[in-house]
Amino acid sequence: MTKWIRSIWEEVARPLIQRPRRVQVAALCTRSAGPGDDVLLITSRGTGRWIIPKGWPIDGLNGPETALQEAWEEAGVRASDVQKDPVGHYSYDKRLDDGTAQQVVTSVYRIQVTDLADDYPEADQRKRCWVSPKVAAERVQEPELRDLLLQM
């Protein structure tokens, strides 16, 4: 009986309860603005809440390269530099198309922005704005991302 219970736990219950976290990559886009830096926020396509550019890993690209690609597609970012190591991580519950939520851990790479294009893949789907890290922290909903912004 114990073997049967252990088998049910390992093969059925445990994977349902302790689902592995999914991973995304995000771009913390900054520009020099007087004594500090400004942060680029964009709106999400679904709810219109303020976020930073992010997405699923892209085959053939590493973390910083994926962050650059997401920043281009979602915000029209042209960058001079991206840090090779993440400046931090945050987690959130991503709503999936079927209505369920999956916990996602997001690695955040800092990108120094040189310019923003007017024409980019998701230009008609999002708004974007430059704000101080403090204002950005007030606008985002994810507590760990908020903490990351306040540490800038």
The DSSP code sequence of 84-105 is: SS-SEEEEEEEEPTTS-EEEEE
What DSSP character marks residue 20? P
Q: What's this model's pTM, rounded to 2 decimal places?
A: 0.83
What DSSP character marks residue 19? P
Domains of the chain: total? 1
| Mean pLDDT, 10 residues at a time, the chain of 152 residues | 60 53 92 88 93 95 96 93 92 84 92 95 96 97 96 90
Residue 125, both tokens: 């789907």
- Reported as half-sphere exposure (CB side, CA atoms, 13 A), residue 140 has a value of 28
Q: How confident is the model over 53-74, as pLDDT tens digits?
A: 999 999 999 999 999 999 999 9
Question: Residue 15 domain-assigned?
Answer: no
Mean pLDDT, the chain, as a whole number?
Answer: 88
Question: Residue 6 domain-assigned?
Answer: no
Question: Residue 3 domain-assigned?
Answer: no
> What is the extent of the structural domain holding 26?
20-150
Question: Residue 10 domain-assigned?
Answer: no
- CATH number of the domain where residue 42 is located: 3.90.79.10
